[in-house]
Amino acid sequence: ILPALDLEKVSNTKCLLLGAGTLGCYVARTLMGWGVRKITFVDSGKVSFSNPVRQPLFEFEDCLEGGKPKAATAAARLKKIFPGVDATGHEFLIPMPGHPIPPQSLEQTKAAVAQLEKLVDEHDVIFLLMDSRESRWLPTVLGAAKGKIVLNSALGFDSYLVMRHGARESITPQGTTRLGCYFCNDIVAPADSLKDQTLDQMCTVTRPGLASIASSTAVELLVSLLQHPKGIHAPSPPMAGSGGQTVDTSAEEYNSVLGLVPHQMRGYLARFSTMHITGAAFGSCTGCSETVLKAYESEGFSMLLKAFNEIGYLEKLTGLDKLHSEGEAALEAVDWDEDDDDM
Q: Hey, is 60 helix, strand or coil? A: helix
DSSP letter at 4 equals T
Give the up-direction half-sphere exposure of residue 289: CA atoms within 13 A in the CB hemisphere. 20
For residue 330, how many other CB atoms are within 10 A of its CB? 9
Cβ burial of 332 (10 Å; 0-12, 13-18, 19+) is exposed
Closest CA to 181 of 282, 293, 316: 282
Cβ contacts of 243 within 8 Å, gap of 6 or more: none
The one catalytic residue in 181, 203, 285, 288 is: 203
Give the up-direction half-sphere exposure of residue 45: CA atoms within 13 A in the CB hemisphere. 18
90 sits in which H/E element:
strand 86-90
SS (H, E, C) 214-262: HHHHHHHHHHHHHHCCCHHHCCCCCCCCCCCCCCCCCCHHHEECCEECC
Q: Quick check: 257 and 4 in contact, CB under 8 A?
A: yes
Q: How far apart are CA 340 and CA 283, in angstroms?
A: 43
Q: Quick check: 143 and 183 in contact, CB under 8 A?
A: no
**Which parts of 83-149 fold into alpha helices (H)?**
106-122, 137-145
Closest CA to 171 of 232, 119, 228, 123: 232
Q: Hey, is 66 helix, strand or coil? A: coil
Angle (nearest 5°) at CA 56 between 50 and 58: 60
288 in active site? no
Q: Give the residue numbers marked as catalytic.
A: 203
